[in-house]
Chain A
Amino acid sequence: MITLSSGHLLEVNHLTKTFTVGGLFRKRGLIAVDDVSFRISTERPVIFTLAGESGSGKTTTARLILGFLEPTSGEIMYRGKNIWAMSKEEFKSYRKEVQAIFQDPYGVFNPLLKVDGVLKTPIKKFKVANPGKEANDLISQSLEVVGLKPEEVLGKYPHQLSGGERQRIMVARAFLLRPKIIIADEPVSMLDASLRAGVLKLMLSLKENLGISFIYITHDLSTAHYISDKIIIMYLGSIVEMGSADRIVKEPLHPYVQLLTGSIPIPDPKYRWKERLELPKTELSTQLKSESCKFYDRCPERMDKCIKERPRLVDVGGDYWVACHLHR
């Protein structure tokens, strides 16, 4: 078992999460994450994007990886060990090595805690440095890594900082613990464009210079393409396409991914959309047959086969994966 997984830092195997929704009488299962598998190798650091529209299951996947939710089935293996079979000590070290930053740099801060406190808490919890000079040095060093001047931010309250600075502090907080992976859930979507660039470049530099891998969760394929090595596109809980960031954006195979990438606005009036996109005239039925392709209702290239058999994710060559009957 351990030898099999030795090349993988993180392995997500057939991960599935079902929530029960509805009231007393109309209870039904909602499959938020549906048989999702992917791997992050130990060879070299990568930025891996999980992208999709709202309801695609990308955030639930992130919460499962962080151990906030227990999977309905499937497993998350870290260094060859299932995180739900770890001892308390092992899980603590997992939570140290796999850190998270979130969308809202305004909401995650305790407004009464100064920046110093925000950074000292994880040091105490994980005992990564002795209190006093050692802890202070570590804090200063982490702040410098994320491009902040310690003397300018220490002693301040969160409301005295900008959104970009707050997000950098969250990265510094994660970095204190020397993580192997940082899970970043929409870390820049609430920031203005001019500040966004700085946070994205910081992620790139942590990967390249300090060997930290990222799982970047986003709906924004432009920023995903800019920073990622690999992109996974999710649709209604399933992976529909997975592979190199460049290829997925430039030559997507799945009709859904083609629709998605064709709708990304380009910040240059030379490349405007040419054809007119027709939006659905009414709500699509949510009654999905469990054996059909999930994209059947919206697919311009649907075939009989697609209603009878749900396509599996297959490698079409070059570690590039698609779940569509058009590509086998």
Chain B
Amino acid sequence: MASSNYLLKVEGLKAFYRAGSSRVKAVDDVSIAVKKSEILGIAGESGCGKSTFALAVLRLLKPPGYIEDGEILLNGVDILKLSDKELKKVRWSRMSYIPQSSMNALNPVMRTEEQINDAILTHGRKMPKAELRKRVGELLANVGLAPEVARMYPHELSGGMRQRVIIAMAIALNPELVVADEPTTALDVVVQRGILQMLSEIRWKFGSSIVVITHDMAAQAEIVDRLAIMYAGKIVEAGGVKEVFDEPLHPYTHALISSVPSIKVKKELLGLSGLPPDLRNPPSGCYFHPRCSKSIRNRCEIEEPEFVEIEKDRFVACHLCG
């Protein structure tokens, strides 16, 4: 297992939220794998379960959220079976997290170096002061920040700089896996480009695998190797990013791609009508069928399509395919 090509293998993951007497199936039977030093993108609209997926993989999901079932194998070790003590060792040193509102994730009364020291000392190794200082300098250089940023407080930094400090913390212990949830959402376009390129560079420099979660299809197209599309708690399509964009198989993927304008080619935007389903009470059959223009009568509203590999590394859950 440890010698396999895959760093992360998620099998049949179910992460739900308790809501009164009902359950919200935010992540419902998701299976996906990430290769070593690969960037996997997870895209989908708000409420599709992509952030819950990130939290579940890192075992950071808090009540009322819980993991109902599944396996999360990091280098063959099931994260879900680890004791709290073992988990603490793995977290940050082997897998780290760039949270969604990372702009506000920094402690406002700590200098940059103290925040980074904290991340290193809490989760990893003991280090003498001089070495620690050297490490902070290296990390800042890796994210393109000047050494003097170490002595600065968060309020002295712009949004893009704070985001780079967060990235420096995330890579502080050379983790094998970095999960970034909407890493560039609130940033200006030039800074967004810088940060996305930096994530892509980390993978080459340190060999880390990265899971990038964002609704922004253009950002996905720029940096990810493989792309998974989530809809209503399920992955409906996955494959190489070029293949998915060139020839989307699932009607939802197609709608998502054709609703984003491109400055290269002016084409008519398609969009999608209707709303994603209420996950407390999802529709029968394929969850997408009420919004799907190609749904097959007497099939899609009754039978749930299976998520199958129809070609090498091309996965889809749709009755129209295969």
Residues of chain A at the chain B interface (Cβ within 8 Å): 53-54, 162, 192-198, 200-201, 219-223, 225-226, 249-250, 259-261, 263-273, 276-279, 281-283
Partner of B256, one of A194, A264, A273: A194
Please judge, given known A-B contacts A269-B221, A272-B222, whether A279 and B191 are in contact too, CB under 8 Å: yes
The 10 closest A-B pairs by CB, nearest first: A197-B271, A265-B218, A194-B272, A197-B269, A279-B194, A226-B261, A263-B193, A53-B188, A282-B146, A281-B146
B148 at the interface (CB under 8 A from A): yes
Residues B189 and A221 in contact, CB atoms below 8 Å apart? yes
Residues A267 and B45 in contact, CB atoms below 8 Å apart? no
| Chain B stretch 263-296: residues in CB contact (< 8 A) with chain A | 263-266, 269-273, 275
Contacts of A222 in B (CB 8 A): 218, 260-263
Mostly helix, strand, loop or mixed at chain A's interface?
loop
- Shortest A188–chain B CB gap in Å is 11
Contacts of B192 in A (CB 8 A): 263, 265
Partner of A268, one of B164, B223, B245: B245
Please judge, given known A-B contacts A194-B45, A197-B270, A264-B189, whether A271 and B197 are in contact too, CB under 8 Å: no
Residues B271 and A201 in contact, CB atoms below 8 Å apart? yes
Partner of A265, one of B145, B222, B270: B222
Contacts of B164 in A (CB 8 A): 279
Residues A193 and B263 in contact, CB atoms below 8 Å apart? no
Contacts of A267 in B (CB 8 A): 217-218, 220-221, 245, 257, 260-262
* A162, closest chain B residue (CB): B275
Residues B264 and A266 in contact, CB atoms below 8 Å apart? yes
Q: Mark B204-226, 1 if CB is under 8 A from A, else 0.
A: 00000000000111111111000
Please judge, given known A-B contacts A53-B190, A276-B197, A277-B194, whether A192 and B221 are in contact too, CB under 8 Å: no
Contacts of B223 in A (CB 8 A): 272
Since A194-B271, A250-B263, A259-B190 are in contact, a sample of 15 more A-B pairs with Cβ atoms closer than 8 Å, ordered by chain A residue number, is A53-B188, A162-B275, A192-B46, A193-B215, A194-B255, A197-B271, A222-B262, A260-B189, A263-B192, A266-B218, A267-B218, A267-B220, A267-B260, A278-B144, A279-B190
Q: How many B residues are at the interface, by size bracket?
A: 35 or more
- Shortest B193–chain A CB gap in Å is 4
Residues B260 and A195 in contact, CB atoms below 8 Å apart? no
- Shortest B314–chain A CB gap in Å is 15
29 interchain pairs (CB within 8 A)?
Answer: A192-B45, A192-B46, A193-B45, A193-B215, A197-B270, A197-B271, A201-B269, A219-B188, A221-B263, A222-B260, A223-B261, A263-B193, A265-B192, A265-B196, A266-B264, A267-B262, A268-B221, A269-B221, A269-B222, A271-B264, A273-B197, A276-B197, A278-B144, A278-B194, A279-B164, A279-B191, A283-B156, A283-B158, A283-B161
> What is the bound-complex CA distance between A283 and B153, given in angstroms?
12
Residues B144 and A279 in contact, CB atoms below 8 Å apart? yes
Partner of B263, one of A195, A201, A249: A249
* B243, closest chain A residue (CB): A269
B106 at the interface (CB under 8 A from A): no
> What is the bound-complex CA distance between A282 and B145, given in angstroms?
6
Residues B193 and A281 in contact, CB atoms below 8 Å apart? no
- Shortest B141–chain A CB gap in Å is 9
* A56, closest chain B residue (CB): B188
Please judge, given known A-B contacts A225-B261, A266-B264, A268-B221, whether A282 and B149 are in contact too, CB under 8 Å: yes
Contacts of A54 in B (CB 8 A): 188
> What is the bound-complex CA distance between A198 and B264, given in angstroms?
21
> What is the bound-complex CA distance between A53 and B256, given in angstroms?
26
Contacts of A281 in B (CB 8 A): 144-146
Mostly helix, strand, loop or mixed at chain B's interface?
helix
Contacts of B273 in A (CB 8 A): 198
Partner of B189, one of A162, A197, A219, A226: A219
* A276, closest chain B residue (CB): B197
Q: A200, A261, A264, A273: which has the most chain B beta carbons within 10 Å? A: A264
B56 at the interface (CB under 8 A from A): no
Residues A193 and B259 in contact, CB atoms below 8 Å apart? yes
B89 at the interface (CB under 8 A from A): no
> What is the bound-complex CA distance between A166 and B239, given in angstroms?
35
B242 at the interface (CB under 8 A from A): yes
Residues A265 and B221 in contact, CB atoms below 8 Å apart? yes
- Shortest B142–chain A CB gap in Å is 12
> What is the bound-complex CA distance between A259 and B191, given in angstroms?
11
B157 at the interface (CB under 8 A from A): yes
Please judge, given known A-B contacts A193-B215, A194-B255, A266-B222, whether A225 and B197 are in contact too, CB under 8 Å: no
> What is the bound-complex CA distance between A222 and B197, given in angstroms?
19
* A223, closest chain B residue (CB): B261
B178 at the interface (CB under 8 A from A): no
Please judge, given known A-B contacts A195-B271, A200-B269, A279-B160, whether A268 and B188 are in contact too, CB under 8 Å: no
Q: Mark B179-207, 1 if CB is under 8 A from A, else 0.
A: 00000000011111111110001000000
Contacts of A270 in B (CB 8 A): 242, 245
Please judge, given known A-B contacts A54-B188, A198-B273, A263-B190, whether A193 and B256 are in contact too, CB under 8 Å: yes
B168 at the interface (CB under 8 A from A): no
> What is the bound-complex CA distance between A225 and B262, given in angstroms?
8
Contacts of B194 in A (CB 8 A): 277-279
Contacts of A266 in B (CB 8 A): 218, 221-222, 262-264
B73 at the interface (CB under 8 A from A): no
Q: A162, A201, A263: which has the most chain B beta carbons within 10 Å? A: A263
> What is the bound-complex CA distance between A35 and B146, given in angstroms?
35
B169 at the interface (CB under 8 A from A): no
* B193, closest chain A residue (CB): A263
> What is the bound-complex CA distance between A121 and B192, given in angstroms?
41
B241 at the interface (CB under 8 A from A): yes
- Shortest B99–chain A CB gap in Å is 20
